[in-house]
Chains A and B, each alone.
Chain A
């Protein structure tokens, strides 16, 4: 963890969907290079926090600064696009494009690179996730784990300052989870700032710098993984961990 100004700052963030208040005041700082893992039961608001940080949702109130962009300001929120990467539970790969096409699209249309440079760069990123030889395959011709690794490559290609992972392994068959978490771990080792919403407790334990436990729209407890997993202070944290770890 660095001592610099936090790269993500949330202060008093609330969000409602209709009558349901999913976030009831979130204060959270993430430092550059930090790997923050967010855990909690479904409906606790963890995905919503991530979607607000990535600019896909706007907070009803409070302040959200990401990479020095004020996301709470609707006139400036768009500035974050192209500077953060997001990996979705359902991959959201473009089915009509090959793995290579998925990765090059933003390089061509946003970065305005030439086709040749974009291709070279995309192949390098695909190689980083171990899929350079699948560059010509369409998503439907890849396994779930491979699709998610292409999605990671697509996000990495634009050289984001922060990577968000929204339950990136939840839709995968258990035997395919490992190939995705190992790519995520190597990213963490390289110093990428990451915010990871996950149900993979072993990933949280081994890779997180800090774990946040969310419960009913608030941050119930946070701390380094050894503290949160071994000596949880909050009763709700204890109950949650008992339920997910006893399997």
Chain B
């Protein structure tokens, strides 16, 4: 198995993918929250700015955004290496989608919750922080976790700016060795491992951070398969 000789490169690439994913995700959450609040703001300029951000990003290809971050920003005096450009592009991209998710989450909190808090005398900032946001985040948490996995998979596009992430590393090994099937098989397994580790972590965070505990509807691939089996058995019983 010649592929074994490259496990070092592959695990290094996997670590890089994880690093980019986590950083880009944090950036996306911050941008998404800011844009969601901006779009609901009293101030027209904030509503406008947030709207432009969300619409421009959601209507252009992410690959183009990566190229802009890497090749075009230096023209504006902002020199980013491939890693920084990748984090920025993926974070900005997913942030625009999260903005819409957070906005939906905020409007999913019933008006009666705000009324109950207002009549108790809470200021509007306290109402947002202690009443609306916790419920909004809970409602959209599964969708937010999906975007985390989206970022993970999106890192493969960064091979286009020569970042030695997982997919790029796999093709490099392939061009050197021509053992396509084993290399891609290992690559697929590593992506599955990474996405399931992230989803499992997100599941644990959901159970701990939200009260009462939030159980994600879809967990790891393994738990999904277990669910399928249970449902199949239930189907049998119902017949």
Whether A154 contacts B120 in the complex (CB less than 8 A), given A90-B112, A94-B131, A95-B135, comes out as yes
Q: A96-B211, A138-B212 are in contact. Are A81 and B130 (CB under 8 A)?
A: no
Other-chain contact of B113, A56, A81, A92, A138 (Cβ < 8 Å): A92
B116 within 8 A of A: yes
DSSP majority for the A interface? loop
**Complex contact A109–B212 (CB within 8 A):** no
Report Cα–Cα, A241/B212, bound state, in Å. 44
How long is the Cα–Cα vector from A55 to B119 in the complex, in angstroms? 8
Contacting residues of chain B (98-141) with chain A, CB-CB under 8 angstroms: 110, 112-113, 115-123, 126, 130-131, 134-135, 138
> Across the interface, do A82 and B121 meet the contact criterion of CB distance under 8 Å?
yes
The answer to whether the Cβ of A113 comes within 8 Å of any Cβ in the partner chain is: no
Q: In the complex, A155→B119 CA distance in Å?
A: 9
User: Which residues does A use to contact B, with CB under 8 Å?
Assistant: 54-56, 81-86, 88, 90, 92-98, 105-106, 109-110, 138, 140-141, 151, 154-155, 158
Report 24 cross-chain contacts, Cβ distance below 8 Å, ordered by A residue.
Answer: A54-B119, A56-B115, A82-B119, A90-B112, A92-B110, A92-B115, A92-B116, A93-B116, A94-B113, A95-B135, A96-B134, A96-B138, A96-B210, A96-B211, A105-B120, A106-B121, A109-B122, A109-B123, A109-B126, A109-B130, A110-B121, A151-B116, A154-B116, A155-B119
**Interface mask (B74-86 → A, CB under 8 Å = 1, otherwise 0):** 0000000000000
CA of A169 to CA of B72, assembled, Å: 64
B113 contact set on A, CB distance < 8 A: 92, 94
Which of chain A's residues have a CB closer than 8 A to the CB of B118? 56, 81
**Chain B interface (Cβ within 8 Å of chain A)?**
110, 112-113, 115-123, 126, 130-131, 134-135, 138, 210-212
Q: Looking at the complex, which one of A88, A106, A158 makes contact with B112 (CB distance below 8 Å)? A: A88
> Which residues on B sit within 8 Å (CB–CB) of A92?
110, 112-113, 115-116
Give the residue of B121, B138, B211 whose beta carbon is less than 8 angstroms from that of A81: B121
Given A90-B112, A92-B112, A96-B135, are A82 and B120 neighbors across the interface (CB < 8 Å)? yes
CA distance A90 to B118 in the complex (A): 16
- Can you name the residue of chain A whose Cβ is closest to the Cβ of B115? A56
**What residues on A are CB-neighbors of B131 within 8 Å?**
94, 105
Q: Shortest Cβ distance from A159 into chain B, in angstroms?
A: 11
Which residues of chain A have C-beta atoms less than 8 A from B135's C-beta?
A: 94-96
Determine if A138 and B120 form an interchain contact, defined as CB atoms under 8 angstroms apart: no
CB distance from B138 to the nearest CB of A (A): 7
Given B121, B126, B130, which contacts A158 in the complex, CB threshold below 8 Å?
B121
- B-side contacts of A56, CB under 8 Å: 115, 118-119
Which residue on A lies nearest to B137, using beta carbons?
A96
Would A81 and B120 be within 8 Å (CB), given that A92-B113, A109-B126 are in contact?
Answer: yes
| Bound: A94/B211 CA distance, A | 11
**Residues of chain A lying within 8 A (CB to CB) of residue B138:** 96
List, in ascending order, chain B residues with CB within 8 A of A110's CB: 120-122
* A139 → chain B closest CB, angstroms: 9
Q: Which residue of A lies closest to B211 (CB)?
A: A96
Contact indicator B211/A158 (Cβ below 8 Å) = no
Pairwise interchain contact B121-A140, C-beta atoms closer than 8 A: no
CB distance from A59 to the nearest CB of B (A): 17
**Minimal beta-carbon separation of B113 from chain A (angstroms):** 6
A residues in contact with B210, CB < 8 Å:
96
State how many angstroms separate the Cβ of A94 from the closest Cβ of chain B.
Answer: 6
User: Considering the chains assembled together, what is the distance between the CA atoms of A151 and B116 in angstroms?
Assistant: 9
Q: Which residues of B contact A155 (CB under 8 A)?
A: 119-120
Q: Which residues from chain B contact A85 at a C-beta distance below 8 Å?
A: 119
Contacts of B121 on A, CB cut-off 8 Å? 81-83, 106, 110, 158
Kindly report which residue of chain B lies nearest to residue A108, judged by CB atoms.
B130
Q: How far is the CA of A154 from the CA of B110 in the complex (A)?
A: 18
Nearest residue (CB) in B for A151 is B116
Give min CB distance, B193 to chain A, whole Å: 33
Closest partner residue, chain B, to A138 (CB atom): B212
CB distance from A82 to the nearest CB of B (A): 3
Give Cα A97 to B138, complex, Å: 13
- Find chain B residues with CB under 8 A from A151 CB: 116
